[in-house]
A and B are shown apart, each in its own frame.
Chain A
Amino acid sequence: QVTLKESGPALVKPTQTLTLTCTFSGFSLSTNGMRVSWVRQPPGKALEWLARIDWDDDKFYSTSLKTRLTISKDTSKNQVVLTMTNMDPVDTATYYCVRIAPTGTTGWYDYWGQGTQVTVSS
């Protein structure tokens, strides 16, 4: 059974750095073909892809946020960590950790975490 769960602060101040942790089970990120992404959703708005990390440690970032994002993994702990620097109120959103379906050449997100709501305010 695949599960993902996000954790991190609910409130951060402008200019601070946000660190979110995704703890997952039911698969290993050291397995060939496994990939995990972060997706966010501002209140009442659409989904926005942020970053992706693959089993071979390849990393990909949203072009518009690339300078602010870092994604990493700890396969021994089954965790993926996302950091976002210089937080702004426009970054207020629910942040989701998602797994990319591992079978063949896929790109759909087959499992989602419950999401963690982050508010940026002084």
Chain B
Amino acid sequence: ETVTTQYPGTLSVSPGERATLSCRASQSVSSKVAWYQQKPGQAPRLLIYGASTRATGFPARFSGSGSGTEFTLTISSLQSEDFAVYYCQQYSNWPWTFGQGTKVEIK
């Protein structure tokens, strides 16, 4: 099974600052990575797929990059509504697996 590891576990960022979240796969997953945003009390919401394609409804300040085993989600200028938990998921190797999440909190 491909282990998907996210770091850091918690990221403290001030509004307006840049946030960089990382996701590492234990073996190559090509570009088959998705990211989800989850706010308290809500279901996760698809944010990025194909490592870098933004899902409908998310602004351009969200961007994804990477291939192989290392992936990054960047939020260029954090807004109040962006404080949430973010999960990555690989869908290259079966079974598809989630990371343990990165919580982005207000500094």
Contacts and interface: CB of A to CB of B under 8 A. Distances in A.
Interface of A: 46-49, 60, 62-63, 96, 101, 106-115
B7 interface: no
Contact of A106 (B36, B44, B49): B49
Interface in B55-107: 55, 87, 89, 91-92, 94-101
Interface residues of B, number: 22
A58 to B, nearest CB: 12
B101 A108 contact: no
A49 B98 contact: yes
Q: Interface of chain B, helix or strand or loop or mixed? A: loop
Interface string B1-38: 10000000000000000000000000000001010100
A114 B44 CA distance: 9
Contacts of B49: 101, 106, 108, 110
A2 to B, nearest CB: 12
A47 B44 contact: yes
A113 B98 contact: no
A106 B91 CA distance: 8
A106 B89 CA distance: 12
A49 B43 contact: no
Interface of B: 1, 32, 34, 36, 43-46, 49, 55, 87, 89, 91-92, 94-101
Contacts of A114: 43
A107 B92 CA distance: 8
A96 B46 CA distance: 14
Given A47-B87, A109-B46, A110-B55, A63 B95 contact: yes
Contacts of B43: 96, 112-115
A63 B34 contact: no
Contacts of B99: 46
Given A46-B99, A49-B98, A107-B96, A112 B91 contact: no
Contacts of B92: 107
A48 B1 CA distance: 13
Nearest to B95: A49
